[in-house]
Protein backbone atom coordinates (compact mmCIF):
# COMPACT_ATOMS: atom_id res chain seq x y z
CA UNK A 1 0.00 0.00 0.00
CA UNK A 2 1.38 3.39 -0.85
CA UNK A 3 1.49 6.04 1.81
CA UNK A 4 -1.11 8.11 0.07
CA UNK A 5 -3.48 5.17 -0.20
CA UNK A 6 -2.95 4.49 3.48
CA UNK A 7 -3.71 8.08 4.37
CA UNK A 8 -6.76 8.28 2.14
CA UNK A 9 -8.56 5.63 4.21
CA UNK A 10 -7.20 6.94 7.49
CA UNK A 11 -9.07 8.67 10.23
CA UNK A 12 -7.32 10.76 12.85
CA UNK A 13 -7.98 8.02 15.43
CA UNK A 14 -6.24 5.28 13.50
CA UNK A 15 -5.91 3.58 10.17
CA UNK A 16 -9.15 1.72 9.64
CA UNK A 17 -12.05 1.98 7.30
CA UNK A 18 -15.71 2.35 8.16
CA UNK A 19 -17.72 -0.84 8.54
CA UNK A 20 -19.75 -1.75 5.43
CA UNK A 21 -23.29 -0.94 6.50
CA UNK A 22 -26.26 0.02 4.32
CA UNK A 23 -29.34 -0.78 6.38
CA UNK A 24 -31.84 1.45 8.16
CA UNK A 25 -33.81 -1.63 9.25
CA UNK A 26 -32.89 -5.23 9.95
CA UNK A 27 -35.84 -7.24 8.63
CA UNK A 28 -34.23 -10.39 7.23
CA UNK A 29 -30.86 -11.51 5.89
CA UNK A 30 -32.03 -11.99 2.29
CA UNK A 31 -30.75 -8.50 1.41
CA UNK A 32 -27.46 -8.73 3.31
CA UNK A 33 -24.18 -9.05 1.45
CA UNK A 34 -21.24 -10.96 2.83
CA UNK A 35 -19.42 -7.68 3.53
CA UNK A 36 -22.29 -6.45 5.69
CA UNK A 37 -22.53 -9.72 7.62
CA UNK A 38 -18.77 -9.51 8.19
CA UNK A 39 -19.21 -5.94 9.45
CA UNK A 40 -21.77 -7.13 12.01
CA UNK A 41 -19.62 -10.07 13.14
CA UNK A 42 -16.45 -7.96 13.39
CA UNK A 43 -18.28 -5.31 15.39
CA UNK A 44 -19.67 -8.07 17.62
CA UNK A 45 -16.07 -9.09 18.42
CA UNK A 46 -15.52 -5.67 19.97
CA UNK A 47 -18.81 -5.94 21.83
CA UNK A 48 -17.84 -9.34 23.26
CA UNK A 49 -14.74 -7.71 24.70
CA UNK A 50 -16.86 -5.00 26.36
CA UNK A 51 -19.08 -7.65 27.97
CA UNK A 52 -15.98 -9.15 29.59
CA UNK A 53 -15.01 -5.85 31.25
CA UNK A 54 -15.58 -5.33 34.94
CA UNK A 55 -17.97 -2.51 34.10
CA UNK A 56 -19.65 -3.69 30.92
CA UNK A 57 -21.05 -0.39 29.80
CA UNK A 58 -19.91 2.14 27.20
CA UNK A 59 -21.56 5.47 26.39
CA UNK A 60 -21.76 5.08 22.59
CA UNK A 61 -25.58 5.18 22.43
CA UNK A 62 -26.20 7.55 25.34
CA UNK A 63 -29.38 9.52 24.74
CA UNK A 64 -30.85 7.00 22.30
CA UNK A 65 -33.99 5.04 23.03
CA UNK A 66 -34.60 1.41 22.18
CA UNK A 67 -38.11 0.00 22.55
CA UNK A 68 -38.79 -3.73 22.69
CA UNK A 69 -42.27 -4.31 21.30
CA UNK A 70 -43.20 -7.95 21.78
CA UNK A 71 -46.51 -9.39 20.65
CA UNK A 72 -45.24 -12.93 21.30
CA UNK A 73 -43.52 -14.46 24.33
CA UNK A 74 -39.73 -14.37 24.47
CA UNK A 75 -37.05 -14.92 27.07
CA UNK A 76 -33.64 -14.75 25.47
CA UNK A 77 -34.28 -12.42 22.55
CA UNK A 78 -35.98 -9.77 24.67
CA UNK A 79 -33.57 -10.04 27.57
CA UNK A 80 -30.55 -9.89 25.28
CA UNK A 81 -31.82 -6.80 23.46
CA UNK A 82 -32.39 -5.12 26.85
CA UNK A 83 -28.90 -5.99 28.03
CA UNK A 84 -27.41 -5.01 24.67
CA UNK A 85 -29.04 -1.57 24.69
CA UNK A 86 -28.06 -0.92 28.29
CA UNK A 87 -24.45 -2.00 27.75
CA UNK A 88 -24.22 0.69 25.05
CA UNK A 89 -25.73 3.34 27.31
CA UNK A 90 -29.11 3.55 25.55
CA UNK A 91 -32.43 3.86 27.36
CA UNK A 92 -34.38 0.64 26.89
CA UNK A 93 -38.05 0.02 27.57
CA UNK A 94 -39.91 -3.20 26.96
CA UNK A 95 -43.57 -3.47 26.07
CA UNK A 96 -45.55 -6.68 25.84
CA UNK A 97 -48.81 -6.80 23.96
CA UNK A 98 -50.74 -8.01 27.00
CA UNK A 99 -49.79 -4.88 28.98
CA UNK A 100 -50.10 -2.26 26.26
CA UNK A 101 -52.89 -0.47 24.42
CA UNK A 102 -52.90 -3.36 21.97
CA UNK A 103 -55.45 -4.81 24.40
CA UNK A 104 -57.63 -1.76 23.72
CA UNK A 105 -57.52 -2.36 19.99
CA UNK A 106 -54.66 -0.08 18.96
CA UNK A 107 -53.28 -1.12 15.58
CA UNK A 108 -49.68 -2.10 14.97
CA UNK A 109 -49.11 1.01 12.86
CA UNK A 110 -50.60 3.31 15.52
CA UNK A 111 -48.48 1.72 18.20
CA UNK A 112 -45.30 2.14 16.18
CA UNK A 113 -46.15 5.78 15.38
CA UNK A 114 -46.89 6.48 19.03
CA UNK A 115 -43.53 5.07 20.04
CA UNK A 116 -41.77 7.15 17.38
CA UNK A 117 -43.60 10.24 18.62
CA UNK A 118 -41.92 9.54 21.97
CA UNK A 119 -38.56 9.63 20.15
CA UNK A 120 -37.89 5.91 20.02
CA UNK A 121 -34.84 5.50 17.77
CA UNK A 122 -34.99 1.72 17.41
CA UNK A 123 -38.04 -0.52 17.72
CA UNK A 124 -37.32 -4.20 18.24
CA UNK A 125 -40.42 -6.06 17.20
CA UNK A 126 -41.70 -9.61 17.53
CA UNK A 127 -45.06 -10.55 16.07
CA UNK A 128 -46.96 -13.73 15.23
CA UNK A 129 -47.67 -12.55 11.66
CA UNK A 130 -45.10 -12.86 8.90
CA UNK A 131 -44.34 -9.42 7.48
CA UNK A 132 -45.36 -7.44 10.57
CA UNK A 133 -41.91 -5.84 10.89
CA UNK A 134 -41.98 -4.87 7.19
CA UNK A 135 -45.34 -3.16 7.69
CA UNK A 136 -43.97 -1.25 10.67
CA UNK A 137 -40.86 -0.19 8.72
CA UNK A 138 -43.06 1.35 6.01
CA UNK A 139 -44.79 3.60 8.52
CA UNK A 140 -41.98 5.01 10.60
CA UNK A 141 -38.53 6.52 10.22
CA UNK A 142 -37.35 4.77 13.39
CA UNK A 143 -35.14 1.74 12.76
CA UNK A 144 -37.07 -1.53 12.95
CA UNK A 145 -35.35 -4.73 14.02
CA UNK A 146 -37.31 -7.87 13.27
CA UNK A 147 -37.03 -10.07 16.36
CA UNK A 148 -39.22 -12.73 14.75
CA UNK A 149 -42.27 -12.42 12.50
CA UNK A 150 -44.36 -15.58 12.43
CA UNK A 151 -42.61 -18.41 10.63
CA UNK A 152 -40.88 -15.95 8.29
CA UNK A 153 -37.63 -14.50 9.61
CA UNK A 154 -35.44 -14.05 12.70
CA UNK A 155 -32.35 -12.28 11.38
CA UNK A 156 -30.71 -11.47 14.73
CA UNK A 157 -30.77 -15.14 15.73
CA UNK A 158 -29.22 -16.05 12.38
CA UNK A 159 -26.46 -13.47 12.87
CA UNK A 160 -25.63 -14.78 16.33
CA UNK A 161 -25.58 -18.31 14.89
CA UNK A 162 -23.14 -17.15 12.20
CA UNK A 163 -21.03 -15.36 14.80
CA UNK A 164 -20.86 -18.48 16.98
CA UNK A 165 -19.98 -20.68 13.98
CA UNK A 166 -17.31 -18.25 12.78
CA UNK A 167 -15.79 -18.14 16.24
CA UNK A 168 -15.14 -21.90 16.08
CA UNK A 169 -14.58 -22.54 12.39
CA UNK A 170 -13.32 -19.24 10.99
CA UNK A 171 -14.28 -19.02 7.34
CA UNK A 172 -17.58 -20.86 6.79
CA UNK A 173 -17.01 -21.43 3.07
CA UNK A 174 -17.73 -25.08 2.26
CA UNK A 175 -18.70 -26.00 5.83
CA UNK A 176 -21.58 -28.48 6.03
CA UNK A 177 -24.34 -27.09 8.24
CA UNK A 178 -27.30 -29.36 8.93
CA UNK A 179 -30.58 -28.12 10.35
CA UNK A 180 -32.83 -30.87 11.68
CA UNK A 181 -36.46 -30.56 12.68
CA UNK A 182 -39.48 -28.42 11.95
CA UNK A 183 -38.10 -26.44 9.02
CA UNK A 184 -41.55 -25.38 7.78
CA UNK A 185 -42.44 -23.36 10.84
CA UNK A 186 -38.96 -22.15 11.73
CA UNK A 187 -38.14 -18.50 11.14
CA UNK A 188 -34.67 -19.26 12.46
CA UNK A 189 -34.11 -21.85 9.73
CA UNK A 190 -35.17 -19.43 7.00
CA UNK A 191 -32.92 -16.61 8.14
CA UNK A 192 -30.06 -19.04 8.77
CA UNK A 193 -30.39 -20.32 5.21
CA UNK A 194 -29.91 -16.80 3.83
CA UNK A 195 -27.03 -15.99 6.13
CA UNK A 196 -25.24 -19.28 5.59
CA UNK A 197 -25.71 -19.04 1.83
CA UNK A 198 -24.16 -15.56 1.86
CA UNK A 199 -21.17 -16.90 3.80
CA UNK A 200 -20.66 -19.79 1.35
CA UNK A 201 -21.63 -22.67 3.66
CA UNK A 202 -23.23 -25.88 2.37
CA UNK A 203 -26.68 -26.01 3.93
CA UNK A 204 -28.60 -29.23 4.50
CA UNK A 205 -32.12 -29.22 5.92
CA UNK A 206 -33.65 -32.38 7.31
CA UNK A 207 -37.06 -33.29 8.70
CA UNK A 208 -40.17 -35.31 7.98
CA UNK A 209 -41.70 -34.36 4.59
CA UNK A 210 -44.66 -32.72 6.32
CA UNK A 211 -42.32 -30.31 8.15
CA UNK A 212 -40.28 -29.28 5.10
CA UNK A 213 -41.47 -26.17 3.26
CA UNK A 214 -42.70 -26.75 -0.26
CA UNK A 215 -40.47 -25.47 -3.02
CA UNK A 216 -37.19 -26.16 -1.23
CA UNK A 217 -36.11 -28.75 -3.79
CA UNK A 218 -35.06 -27.07 -6.99
CA UNK A 219 -37.22 -29.44 -9.07
CA UNK A 220 -40.36 -28.52 -7.14
CA UNK A 221 -39.69 -24.85 -7.35
CA UNK A 222 -42.01 -22.82 -9.57
CA UNK A 223 -40.18 -20.43 -11.87
CA UNK A 224 -41.42 -17.31 -10.09
CA UNK A 225 -40.23 -18.59 -6.69
CA UNK A 226 -36.60 -18.68 -7.74
CA UNK A 227 -35.41 -16.40 -4.98
CA UNK A 228 -37.91 -17.41 -2.28
CA UNK A 229 -35.20 -19.36 -0.45
CA UNK A 230 -31.51 -19.92 -1.16
CA UNK A 231 -30.34 -23.27 -2.56
CA UNK A 232 -30.09 -26.02 0.05
CA UNK A 233 -29.83 -29.79 0.10
CA UNK A 234 -32.98 -31.52 1.34
CA UNK A 235 -32.84 -34.82 3.25
CA UNK A 236 -35.58 -36.76 4.99
CA UNK A 237 -33.14 -39.30 6.42
CA UNK A 238 -31.32 -37.91 9.47
CA UNK A 239 -28.43 -40.38 9.25
CA UNK A 240 -27.64 -39.28 5.73
CA UNK A 241 -28.09 -35.61 6.59
CA UNK A 242 -25.66 -35.68 9.52
CA UNK A 243 -22.96 -37.53 7.55
CA UNK A 244 -19.82 -35.36 7.65
CA UNK A 245 -21.60 -32.35 9.19
CA UNK A 246 -19.48 -29.60 10.77
CA UNK A 247 -22.48 -28.12 12.52
CA UNK A 248 -25.71 -29.82 13.51
CA UNK A 249 -28.52 -27.52 14.55
CA UNK A 250 -31.60 -29.02 16.16
CA UNK A 251 -34.84 -27.07 15.81
CA UNK A 252 -37.85 -27.16 18.11
CA UNK A 253 -41.23 -28.48 16.99
CA UNK A 254 -43.20 -25.24 16.68
CA UNK A 255 -46.44 -26.72 18.01
CA UNK A 256 -47.95 -23.22 18.41
CA UNK A 257 -47.70 -22.70 14.63
CA UNK A 258 -48.62 -26.18 13.46
CA UNK A 259 -52.10 -26.86 12.20
CA UNK A 260 -52.11 -30.43 13.53
CA UNK A 261 -51.97 -33.71 11.67
CA UNK A 262 -48.41 -33.11 10.51
CA UNK A 263 -46.91 -35.82 12.70
CA UNK A 264 -48.26 -39.26 13.66
CA UNK A 265 -47.03 -38.63 17.23
CA UNK A 266 -44.30 -36.76 19.07
CA UNK A 267 -42.83 -40.10 20.15
CA UNK A 268 -42.59 -41.24 16.55
CA UNK A 269 -40.93 -37.95 15.60
CA UNK A 270 -38.39 -38.29 18.41
CA UNK A 271 -37.54 -41.84 17.35
CA UNK A 272 -36.88 -40.83 13.76
CA UNK A 273 -35.44 -37.30 14.04
CA UNK A 274 -34.00 -36.74 17.51
CA UNK A 275 -30.37 -35.61 17.46
CA UNK A 276 -28.63 -38.28 19.52
CA UNK A 277 -25.01 -39.17 20.35
CA UNK A 278 -25.32 -42.24 18.17
CA UNK A 279 -26.40 -40.21 15.16
CA UNK A 280 -23.77 -37.52 15.79
CA UNK A 281 -21.09 -40.21 15.49
CA UNK A 282 -21.57 -39.85 11.71
CA UNK A 283 -20.77 -36.14 11.78
CA UNK A 284 -17.34 -34.58 11.17
CA UNK A 285 -14.93 -35.37 14.07
CA UNK A 286 -14.80 -31.65 14.94
CA UNK A 287 -18.56 -31.15 14.69
CA UNK A 288 -20.45 -28.83 17.01
CA UNK A 289 -24.05 -28.86 18.13
CA UNK A 290 -26.34 -25.83 18.19
CA UNK A 291 -29.94 -25.06 19.11
CA UNK A 292 -31.66 -21.66 18.93
CA UNK A 293 -33.74 -22.43 22.03
CA UNK A 294 -36.08 -22.89 23.73
CA UNK A 295 -35.31 -26.60 23.52
CA UNK A 296 -37.42 -29.63 24.36
CA UNK A 297 -34.93 -32.23 25.55
CA UNK A 298 -36.04 -35.76 24.74
CA UNK A 299 -37.91 -34.61 21.61
CA UNK A 300 -35.72 -32.89 19.02
CA UNK A 301 -32.50 -33.28 21.02
CA UNK A 302 -31.27 -35.88 23.53
CA UNK A 303 -30.53 -34.44 26.99
CA UNK A 304 -27.00 -35.85 27.20
CA UNK A 305 -26.14 -34.38 23.80
CA UNK A 306 -27.45 -30.90 24.68
CA UNK A 307 -25.01 -30.64 27.60
CA UNK A 308 -22.07 -32.48 26.02
CA UNK A 309 -18.75 -30.82 25.30
CA UNK A 310 -19.75 -30.59 21.61
CA UNK A 311 -22.70 -28.37 22.52
CA UNK A 312 -22.26 -24.61 22.08
CA UNK A 313 -25.87 -23.79 22.93
CA UNK A 314 -25.02 -21.60 25.93
CA UNK A 315 -22.36 -19.81 23.94
CA UNK A 316 -25.07 -18.88 21.43
CA UNK A 317 -26.96 -17.12 24.21
CA UNK A 318 -23.91 -15.14 25.37
CA UNK A 319 -23.03 -14.20 21.81
CA UNK A 320 -26.61 -13.04 21.27
CA UNK A 321 -26.01 -10.00 23.48
CA UNK A 322 -22.82 -9.03 21.62
CA UNK A 323 -24.39 -9.43 18.17
CA UNK A 324 -27.41 -7.34 19.17
CA UNK A 325 -25.10 -4.66 20.54
CA UNK A 326 -23.35 -4.63 17.17
CA UNK A 327 -26.66 -4.18 15.35
CA UNK A 328 -27.86 -1.38 17.62
CA UNK A 329 -24.52 0.38 17.14
CA UNK A 330 -24.48 0.02 13.35
CA UNK A 331 -28.10 1.16 13.04
CA UNK A 332 -27.35 4.22 15.18
CA UNK A 333 -24.55 5.10 12.78
CA UNK A 334 -26.60 4.54 9.63
CA UNK A 335 -26.57 7.62 7.43
CA UNK A 336 -28.87 7.71 4.39
CA UNK A 337 -26.91 8.19 1.19
CA UNK A 338 -23.69 7.36 2.99
CA UNK A 339 -21.44 5.85 0.35
CA UNK A 340 -18.38 5.48 2.55
CA UNK A 341 -19.24 1.87 3.34
CA UNK A 342 -19.58 1.11 -0.37
CA UNK A 343 -23.32 1.34 -1.02
CA UNK A 344 -24.75 -0.90 -3.66
Partner 1 sequence: MPDMPGLALDAQAPLLDEAGVRRAVSRLAHEVVEANGGTEGLVLVGIRRRGATLATRLASAIASFEGVLPASGALDVTLHRDDFAQRGLRSAPLPSDLPSIDGRNVVLVDDVLYTGRTVRAALDALNDFGRPKVVRLAVLVDRGHRELPIRADMVGKNIPTSQEDDVRVLLQEVDGRDAVVVVSKGGAA
Q: Which residues bind partner 1 (CB under 8 A)?
A: 1, 3-4, 6-8, 10-19, 21, 39, 42-43, 45-50, 53-61, 88, 329-330, 332-335, 338, 340-341
CB 316 within 8 A of CB 76: no
Name the residue nearer to partner 1 (CB basis): 16 or 271.
16
Q: What is the DSSP letter of 218?
A: G
Smallest distance, partner 1 to C-beta of residue 163, A = 14
Name the residue nearer to partner 1 (CB basis): 39 or 203.
39
Residue 293 burial (CB count, 10 A): 16
Q: Give the integer Cα–Cα distance in Å for 314 and 322.
A: 13
HSE-CB of 79 using CA atoms within 13 angstroms: 7
Smallest distance, partner 1 to C-beta of residue 29, A = 19
CB 176 within 8 A of CB 246: yes
Q: What is the DSSP letter of 14?
A: B
Smallest distance, partner 1 to C-beta of residue 336, A = 11
Name the residue nearer to partner 1 (CB basis): 281 or 335.
335
Name the residue nearer to partner 1 (CB basis): 46 or 210.
46
Beta bridge partners of 128: none
Smallest distance, partner 1 to C-beta of residue 28, A = 22
Smallest distance, partner 1 to C-beta of residue 210, A = 45
**Which has the closest alpha carbon to 24: 344, 331, 341?**
331
- The residues, any chain, with a CB within 8 Å of residue 212's CB and separated by 6 or more, are 183, 184, 205, 234, 236
Smallest distance, partner 1 to C-beta of residue 11, A = 5
Q: Give the integer Cα–Cα distance in Å for 247 and 252.
A: 16
Name the residue nearer to partner 1 (CB basis): 55 or 118.
55
Name the residue nearer to partner 1 (CB basis): 3 or 265.
3
- The residues, any chain, with a CB within 8 Å of residue 171's CB and separated by 6 or more, are 200
Name the residue nearer to partner 1 (CB basis): 43 or 111.
43
Smallest distance, partner 1 to C-beta of residue 150, A = 31
Residue 62 burial (CB count, 10 A): 11
Amino acid sequence: MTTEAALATDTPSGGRTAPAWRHQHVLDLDDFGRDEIDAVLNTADSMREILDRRIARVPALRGRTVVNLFYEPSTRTRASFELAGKALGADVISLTASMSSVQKGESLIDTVRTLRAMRADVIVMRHASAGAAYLAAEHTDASIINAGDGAHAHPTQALLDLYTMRHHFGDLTGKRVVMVGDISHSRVARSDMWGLAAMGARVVVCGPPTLLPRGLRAAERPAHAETALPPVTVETDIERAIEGAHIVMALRLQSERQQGGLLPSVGEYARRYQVTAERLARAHPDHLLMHPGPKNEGIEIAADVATSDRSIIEEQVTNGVAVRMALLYLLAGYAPGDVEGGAR
